[in-house]
Structure 1
Amino acid sequence: MWYHPLCALVLDFIIGDPPKIPHPVIGMGHLIHSGEKLLYPQKPEHKMLTITRGAVLAGSMVIFIFVLSFMLLNWLRQLQPLLADLVEIWFIATTIASKGLAQAGRDIYILLKAGKILEARQKVGWIVGRDTDKLDEGEISRAAIETIAENTVDGVIAPLFYAFLGGAPLALTYRVINTMDSMLGYKNERYLYFGRAAARLDDAANLIPARLTGFFLLVVMLLSPRLNFSRALHSWKKEACLHPSPNSGIPEAVVAGGLGIRLGGLNYYGGMPHFRDHLGPGLLPIAPEHIQDTIKIMYRTSLLAAVVFTAIFYLIK
């Protein structure tokens, strides 16, 4: 139904992911891990064979999740249509992470304002992949802002977009693609070849949602007196392409431009330095308050996208 994704977003706004209810993404993670154990080469082999193994895993997971969820919902519709509607709304809600993102950001903000740097470093380490043990207040804030901005695509707009296109089966399929990327899509010795298919699949799946997110972010900037639309647009046009991801640079650049801050810079992964090009004008030093601002931007963008998607698909259907 055209209204299922909107209901799912509202449900996520209210309750998020209750810890005592089994989450489909956890099951996806177990399946991906099992598939990796089965398909990962036990001894060195030609890189194309390793890439093929990873592609088999990625393709199998996509097909399995889509077919399983489609068949389950189809069976429920024959059994009890109302139950099928409720299950589909819940399935879609599990692919959305707006409340979880906001709560993580607020927790970090509260710790920083209380001067609890050690706890804030630990907390931000739960949501980023970089080393956090030596980060100061500004760098902790930057890490949180970048994660919330980037995951406005992965955690909200993309699953909404696919839910409107194909209901819960397509939203869950997107979520398994994104989960595979988070587990396998690393450019390290283990996953450089095996995880390549997962990473490329995630790039392709986010290609349209990332650009839609950029558009919705700009609308939010335009309607918010405290945010700067022209700087946000400039950062998207001139700086988003500097990001190593073809998609993540868009929300990060737009948020940085709108807030007047500078994202990117030097990060450490396993003790090794990696410099990421700067995004945004850097007119203001990054502060914990910018985490709160980014959370508000994420919520407004999510609601705007849901309303626009609902209106379009209602008119079409």
Structure 2
Amino acid sequence: MLFYSWRETAIMLVAAIIIDWLIGDPRWPTHPVIRIGQWIRWVELKLHPEAVSRDSSRERLRGVLLTVSTLTISFAAIWLLLWVARQIHPWLGYAVNTWFISTTIAIKGLKDAAMKVYVPLMDGRMDEARTYTGYIVGRNTSELDESELTRATVETVAENTVDAVVSPLVYAFLGAAPLAMLYRAANTLDSMVGYKNDKYMFFGWASARWDDVMNWVPARLTGILLVLVAAVNRGCSAMRSAQAIRRFARLHPSPNSGIPESAVAGALGIELGGVNVYHGRISERARMGWPLRERCNDDILNTVRLLYGVSILIAGGLLCAYCWTLL
């Protein structure tokens, strides 16, 4: 492992999870992911100023350059900061590593975003709920009803259980904060340029593919964790969650996102997927789960509970493994 033993890493991961539970994404100092996003936008303007990808091979090459440069700088910057901190004092190294790992996960941030939709929905403030839903999804939300707003929020929290929780923790365990930040850079690249539209079809190809590769194992681990959490969560079905993964996950256009979405749909007994509208274009997404009942606002709360359950299971597992080695 990079810098630390697995025992040291386990304790720092637990500390990072607790920091995120309590603080979330701080506004100061500037969040590292914001800096990564600024770098991506600056390089994009230099390499791909056009609104349409014209030369597929050239655009792919430029996209590879963007991806490689972003990943390299993100990893190297945190590696250097951590190395300097360790030279000053080992405990400073522990603190720096733990802090930067906490910035790569977003448990509280996901919960807060979901609650900004849930609370207006409960109060009947539909316009406000549509506005906040629009902040977390790319689809058009101006005409969505309560059920569709719930679906959008549940899908977002479910999918990001991989991107914002399990994946960064997996890479932090393997390579401390530098590798976790490299993953976060890959995920940020995908969210900014990894679209299959006229502008990013070729330029964003490398970013989208690399994000798929990095999420492949964590997504499947997340499916297992969601099934385990569903087993102890009131109103959820672990068996149905596992069956939904086997039945529906492969229908999703993403090789990874279908796993957490189908797991949550099966656990809650609802149907996710369906018709989405992106910039006036209708997109039919595969339907996942069985519509055993109508979607309701409380599905947002239950999905957040599953999210926190996954983080608790990871933290608890790490602590148990650490304590076991002390016996």
1:88 Cα offset (Å) = 1.3
Measure how far apart 1:311 and its partner are.
4.7
Describe the SS at the equivalent of 1:126. Answer: helix
CA distance in 1, matches of 2:250, 2:314: 23
Bigger mean CA deviation after superposition, 221-230 or 29-38: 221-230
- Share of identical aligned residues, percent? 44
Q: 1:157 aligns with which of 166, 191, 194?
A: 166
Residues 277 and 283 in structure 2, CA contact (< 8 A), matched pair in contact too: yes
Gaps of 5+ in 1: none
Provide the rounded CA distance (Å) in 2 between the counterparts of 1:96 and 1:44.
33
Q: Is contact 1:164-1:309 (8 Å) kept?
A: no
Change (3 A) 1:45 1:106: closer
Given the superposition, is the C-alpha separation of residues 81 and 148 from structure 1 closer, same or farther in structure 2, using an over 3 Å criterion? same
Offset from partner CA, 1:176-220 (integer Å, 9 cap, x none):
000000000001111000000000000000000000000001111
User: What is the letter of the counterpart of residue 6 of structure 1?
Assistant: V
TM-score (norm 2): 0.93
Cα distance in 2 for partners of 1:235, 1:5 equals 30
Distance 1:314 1:94 in 2: 26
Per the alignment, do residues 94 and 81 of structure 1 end up closer, same or farther by CA in structure 2, a change over 3 Å counting? same
Partner residue of 1:8? 16
Alpha carbons 1:160, 1:306 under 8 Å: kept = no
Q: Matched residues in 2 for 1:167 and 1:46: separation?
A: 39
Opposite residue 5 of structure 1, the aligned amino acid is L
Q: How does 1:212-231 map onto structure 2 within 5 Å? A: 212-231=221-240
* 1:81 Cα deviation from its structure 2 partner: 2.0
Paired with 2:266 and 2:46, the residues of 1 have a C-alpha distance of 45
Q: Which amino acid aligns with 2:253?
A: P
Residues 43-192 of structure 1: pairs in structure 2 closer than 5 A = 45-192=54-201
Measure the CA separation in 1 of the matches of 2:319 and 2:103: 19
TM-score by length of 1: 0.96
Alignment RMSD (CA, Å) = 1.7
Match of 2:47 among 36, 39, 50: 39
Residue type at the aligned position of 1:40:
H
8 Å contact from structure 1 (residues 161, 309) kept in 2 = no
- 1:302 partnered with 2:306: no
The SS at the match of 2:276 is strand
Residue among 284, 290, 293 paired with 2:293: 284
Matched with 2:204 is: 195
